[in-house]
Structure 1
Amino acid sequence: MDPLLESVLEAHGGRQRWAEISTLTARLAVGGPFWGIRGFPDAFLDETLTIAIATRNAALTPWTAPDHTLVADLTHDRVTLRGADGSLVEKRDTPRPSYAGYDLYSPWDRLQVGYFLGYAMWNYLTTPHLLTHPGMVSREIQPWDENGQHWRRLQVTFPATVPTHTAEQVFYFDADGLLRRLDYTVDVNANATVAHYTDGHRTFEGLVFPTRRRVYPRRPDRTRIGPFPARTAAPSPSTSTTSPSSESASDGRLPAGAIATIGPAGEHKVPAEVRPRDGKRTWTT
């Protein structure tokens, strides 16, 4: 394993502590112009996200209706929408091809938005431990200086078996080994190139998460541009908040707090709570 990645894992709580976690649950408030462009302005300001780490499931409740739950089954490459009684409302297999031909301003349907948020949050909340999965290739590259800060960088190649934004990504870490930024291309969003910043790191039951994320367009030289432009005018970044929790084999619960999430041209915070491995909450498609 790359020595930088080894130190980063320790800085975020260590491999042993992560091995004890099976599920992450977070209350999300997701905002920003990105979601309005997709056709869902202010639609996701009070979501509950449940992530099953090993089975790669992400469930979002409520989803576009008070009694609906969206499940992104990343293992079987499927997204479903279900009613409160478990009945199937809508379903799509292999959702990625559905974004073909779209540009940065194309509206998405509710399954496309749910798949995007589901796989993105699964990636964000499992990083940096995700980088140890089989098939991942990582190596340290030249460091980066920005706004008086000096960050070490890890270039990571994701295998096709891991659902993510794009195969090649770069992660930036500060002197304490904490994640401060990640660069990637969003394959499902017209190959938009972004710089994704994280800050406000806090410790929850032994695991360290950032409590805020901000996503900006990025130039070829890796400098950020600012918020994604609207078609007619540049919007201001917007914010959203949430409260964290997760599941561990020890029945431990995280204290109140927030774990950050995503959103080009915006900010949002996400908290997560850790639950026991044998917890009753499961989601199937």
Structure 2
Amino acid sequence: MIELLADAIQAHGGLDRWKGHRRLTATIVTGGELWALKSVNQDPSPRTMRVDLHREWASVEPYGKAGQRTDFTPERIAIEAEGRGTVAERLNPRTSFAGHDMRTTWDPLQRAYFNGYALWTYLTAPFLLAMDGFKVREIEPWREGAETWRGLRATFPPEIASHSTEQDFYFGPDMLIRRHDYRVEIAGSFPAAQYISNPVSVEGIKIPTKRRAYLRDDNLMPVLDAPLVTIDLSDFRFT
């Protein structure tokens, strides 16, 4: 493990402490401009988000209506209903995004797939970068105001579903994550810069509670007119 990643993982609570947990549950509130572009009705009601920490699985509920939840893995996305089992399902869900751009409408399963892989990535970073198959290297730092944030470029293994194969993570002087850059491949590969802040400590693990994602220009500058995605997290619980 390279020194930058090791220092970041230690600053967030350490790998041993992380490995002592299996699942993370949180309350999530989501907003932003992306949903209108995708013709998705994203209401601001709080929901319950669950992710496994050591395999790529996620679920959010309610989804669509009360009593429904999603079930996400890279190979399958499903919507399940209390007492009725699976009500909708798609295997190999990433293939359904072929030809999509930033304004292509998403159906409920596509929205659920995006939510699943995105929140799993966010809630397990930076620890996921120590999993088998990830390749990481240090890149040029980013200057943000008076701070210099050290950069790490991660190449994701093919079996992990996420925004893009290459993603950049930036860490502040305290080695806590500050920014996450990627391209949203399933929506025309538009570039995004996500700013990450307001961490809390949960059983010794530092977890950010505020995320704001913006379009990014060719100079890596965020377009701050309006956030594409806003995510507020609270009520974290490990199991």
Q: Shorter chain as normaliser: what TM range?
A: over 0.9
- Residues 1:267 and 2:215 are matched in the alignment: no
| Residue 95 (structure 2) aligns with | 97
CA distance in 2, matches of 1:146, 1:25: 31
- Residues 1:19 and 2:19 are matched in the alignment: yes
Q: Which structure 1 residue ranges, 5 or more long, are not aligned?
A: 228-235, 238-264, 277-285
What displacement does 1:162 show? 1.4
- Residues 1:165 and 2:163 are matched in the alignment: yes
Q: Which structure 2 residue ranges, 5 or more long, are not aligned?
A: none
- SS in structure 2 of the partner of residue 200 of structure 1: strand
The residue identity in structure 2 corresponding to 1:18 is W
Which of 103, 113, 116 does residue 115 from structure 1 map onto? Answer: 113
**More moved, 167-176 vs 142-151:** 142-151
Q: What does residue range 136-155 of structure 1 map to in structure 2 within 5 Å? A: 136-155=134-153
Q: CA distance change for structure 1 residues 68 and 44 in 2, over 3 Å: closer, same or farther? A: farther
Alpha-carbon contact 2:147-2:173 (below 8 Å) kept: no
- SS in structure 1 of the partner of residue 105 of structure 2: coil
What displacement does 1:274 show? 3.0
Q: What does residue range 18-97 of structure 1 map to in structure 2 within 5 Å? A: 18-43=18-43, 45-74=45-74, 77-97=75-95
Q: CA distance change for structure 1 residues 203 and 140 in 2, over 3 Å: closer, same or farther? A: same
What displacement does 1:72 show? 0.7
CA distance in 2, matches of 1:273, 1:104: 32
What displacement does 1:120 show? 0.5
What displacement does 1:86 show? 4.2
The residue identity in structure 2 corresponding to 1:225 is V
| Residue 198 (structure 2) aligns with | 200
CA distance in 1, matches of 2:182, 2:96: 21
The residue identity in structure 2 corresponding to 1:271 is S
CA distance in 2, matches of 1:215, 1:169: 14
CA distance in 2, matches of 1:156, 1:42: 30
- Residues 1:217 and 2:201 are matched in the alignment: no
Q: CA distance change for structure 1 residues 55 and 100 in 2, over 3 Å: closer, same or farther? A: same
- SS in structure 2 of the partner of residue 45 of structure 1: coil
Q: Deviations over 1:211-233 (max 9, x none)?
A: 11110111122111224xxxxxx
| Residue 123 (structure 2) aligns with | 125
How many pairs align?
239
What displacement does 1:43 show? 3.2
The residue identity in structure 1 corresponding to 2:62 is P
CA distance in 1, matches of 2:136, 2:12: 17
Q: Deviations over 1:157-206 (max 9, x none)?
A: 11112111111111110110010001111111110101111011121110
What displacement does 1:80 show? 0.7
The residue identity in structure 2 corresponding to 1:15 is L
CA distance in 2, matches of 1:61, 1:178: 29
- SS in structure 1 of the partner of residue 115 of structure 2: helix
Alpha-carbon contact 2:56-2:160 (below 8 Å) kept: no
What displacement does 1:7 show? 0.5
| Residue 233 (structure 1) aligns with | none
- SS in structure 2 of the partner of residue 211 of structure 1: strand
CA distance in 1, matches of 2:172, 2:182: 18
Alpha-carbon contact 1:26-1:50 (below 8 Å) kept: yes
Alpha-carbon contact 1:57-1:71 (below 8 Å) kept: yes
Structure 1 length as normaliser, TM-score?
0.80
Alpha-carbon contact 2:215-2:223 (below 8 Å) kept: yes
- SS in structure 1 of the partner of residue 114 of structure 2: helix
Alpha-carbon contact 1:214-1:268 (below 8 Å) kept: yes
1 or 2, which has the higher strand percentage?
A: 2
- SS in structure 2 of the partner of residue 188 of structure 1: helix
What displacement does 1:44 show? 5.6
What displacement does 1:105 show? 1.1
RMSD: 1.4
